[in-house]
Structure 1
Amino acid sequence: MKRAFRKYHRTLAIIISLPLAFTVFTGTAVTIVGEWGINIGLSRSLLLDIHTGEIFHLQAIYPILHGLGLMGLLVTGLSMSGLFGKKTQQTKRN
């Protein structure tokens, strides 16, 4: 079972990493450009369009895809961790 979850986790991580990287970097860049006034060569509106998925016409489902991807990573990661596995009772011997 753990082997299957590792396979799914690895595949899902590869798929979700690019959109999440875009979201993280553009969100940081929007803050840098908007709040600190640093010019990085891209307008704040273009960065926001990329950040929200509007540039790809995915603004309606972009957050849902992020959420589903992260929930999948969370489920597969926690299942591999062994935190929720069966715990064996140890008998106390004198």
Structure 2
Amino acid sequence: MNRVQIRRLHSLIAPFMLLPILLTLLTGTVFQFAVITGNAEGFLWLLDLHRGKFGQINLEMVYPFLNALGLLVLAITGISMWLRSPR
């Protein structure tokens, strides 16, 4: 892939990955704080969101893989752009 194609792929995927990555990060962090403070029982609903269950929409089987794949592509394209940038 050339520089333009890598940048285009990165800029295409980044907006779609922003919300799932932030949601996973925030729900995991808040739930961990709840566990540490002994309030995990009241925050079990966060685990549903963290795993990809959004009410009637249940993506638990594919959500982690889509999250991981998107983040992997962003990491690879980001590192590639960084390595190819002029020093």
The bucket for the TM-score relative to the shorter chain is 0.7 to 0.9
In 1, the alpha carbon distance for the partners of 2:75 and 2:36 equals 32
What's the % identity of the aligned pairs?
34
Q: Return the alpha-carbon distance in structure 2 between the equivalents of residues 75 and 25 of structure 1.
A: 23
Unaligned runs of 5+ in 2: none
TM-score w.r.t. length of structure 1: 0.73
In structure 2, distance between residues paired with 1:37 and 1:11:
41
Alignment of 1:45 onto 2:53: no
Q: Give me the whole-angstrom Cα distance separating, in 2, the residues matched to 1:82 and 1:31.
A: 35
How large is the RMSD of aligned CA atoms in angstroms? 1.9
Match of 2:9 in 1: 8
Distance in 1 separating the partners of 2:66 and 2:58: 13
User: Which whole-Å CA distance do the structure 2 matches of 1:60 and 1:23 have between them?
Assistant: 15
Across the two proteins, how many residue pairs are aligned to each other? 80
1:46-77 C-alpha deviation (Å, 9 max, x unpaired): 11111111233011001110111011112211
* TM-score, normalization by structure 2: 0.78
Counterpart AA for 1:36: T
Separation in structure 2 between the aligned mates of residue 29 and residue 80 of structure 1, nearest angstrom? 33
* In 2: Cα distance, 1:25 partner to 1:79 partner: 28
Shift of 1:4: 1.9
